[in-house]
Amino acid sequence: MRFDMGNIACAQGALYAGCNFFAGYPITPASEVSQFMSEEMAQHGGYFLQMEDEIASLGACVGAVWAGAKAMTATSGPGFSLMTENLSYAIMTETPLVIAYLQRGGPSTGQATLPGQQDVYQVRYGAHGDYEIIALCPWSVQEMYDMTVRAFNLSEIYRVPVILLSDAVVGHMREKYELTRLPLIARKRLTDRVNPFGGPLPRFGEGFNLQVTGSAHRDDGVRDYSPMIHSQTLRRLIDKILDHRDDICEVEAFDTHKDKIIVSYGASARPSYGACKELENTGFLRLKTLWPFPDELVCEHCSGKEVYVVEMNQGKIAREVERAIHKKVFPICINGGAVPFVSDIVKVVI
């Protein structure tokens, strides 16, 4: 059992998952992840690089993965904005890696030292092109560890970038947690030149003579701009995530048989759960996976109910819940870098 902050638990989870390359640039409130990795990576036989900016950070991670590494970076709002071009490249080249995203208040520099949940759409739609993304959302220090491990596993299974989408509260708070010995997914290795895209990941220097390009390409890596090939590629990139929603999406439900349901995630979920325990006839649904959005699970627990969505933004996930259940919901939106109090939620739901 350990006692430390969420960002340290995240870094510990990455090391346990086999991360042996970290490239990043300091940014509040994610800097502790980089700092810990800078101190520990060499002791685990890996490499730490502080890059000149976040563009280079994610680019270095992509290159390291194709050289055989398990790679990770960590950032927040403006840094992720810089990463999005290389995020799109990683999606197109099917490069498995992990981004720890610690949200703060925006727009722009915003509230660098205060929490927010305003970037949930940036994570989903920030990169250019059509694609799907996986984003996991912890609410505790223990889950910062556990979900980081899961993020690496999912990235290897589906050959996609995976985002650990946290916030300044969960990243900086201190709690007890265990270095749980969770199952790990080993990287599948390419043994022949058939379908290096859409199949196991080849590694530079192994003689496959592949083109690794962000341009439209066939499954053998050769550039091809034809409408049919590009359409097939997009469909495959999207379907490999959407066809496995049942394996990716997770929620945690408490008393959702009741007439009212509070839905929340991340730091906002903690007072939401507290409010649920104070209110009669009110259940609670916590979203552990934000993207792909768990439509079926939300419908299962919320359809026909009076639904309240608590979040630190102007109601972004509330819109997703409305879309899923085809019914108006009641957003409880807290901004200004403050986490909602239990009393804030109770007085609206009661």
pLDDT tens for each residue of 85-121:
999 999 999 999 999 999 999 999 999 999 999 999 9
Q: Give the Cα separation of 61 and 160 in Å (integer).
A: 13
Residue 148 has pLDDT above 80, yes or no: yes
In this predicted structure, what is the pLDDT of residue 314?
96
Q: Give the Cα separation of 259 and 119 in Å (integer).
A: 30
Write down the pTM of the prediction: 0.96
**Which residue's entry shows tokens 């390009």?**
213
Apex 269 CA angle, 16 and 12, nearest 5: 10
Which residue in 335, 285, 334 sits closest to 305, CA to CA?
A: 285
Residue 152 has pLDDT above 70, yes or no: yes
In this predicted structure, what is the pLDDT of residue 199?
79
CATH numbers and ranges of domains, the chain: 2-177 (3.40.50.970), 251-349 (3.40.50.920)
Mean pLDDT calculated for residue range 150-175? 98
Distances (CA, A) of 252 to 174, 205, 263: 22, 44, 10
In this predicted structure, what is the pLDDT of residue 194?
63
Mean pLDDT calculated for residue range 266-294? 97
CA dihedral 242, 182, 1, 271 (to 10 degrees): 10
Least confident segment among 44-58, 72-86, 115-129, 191-205: 191-205
For residue 5, what are the β-bridge partners?
Answer: 174
Mean pLDDT calculated for residue range 160-176? 98
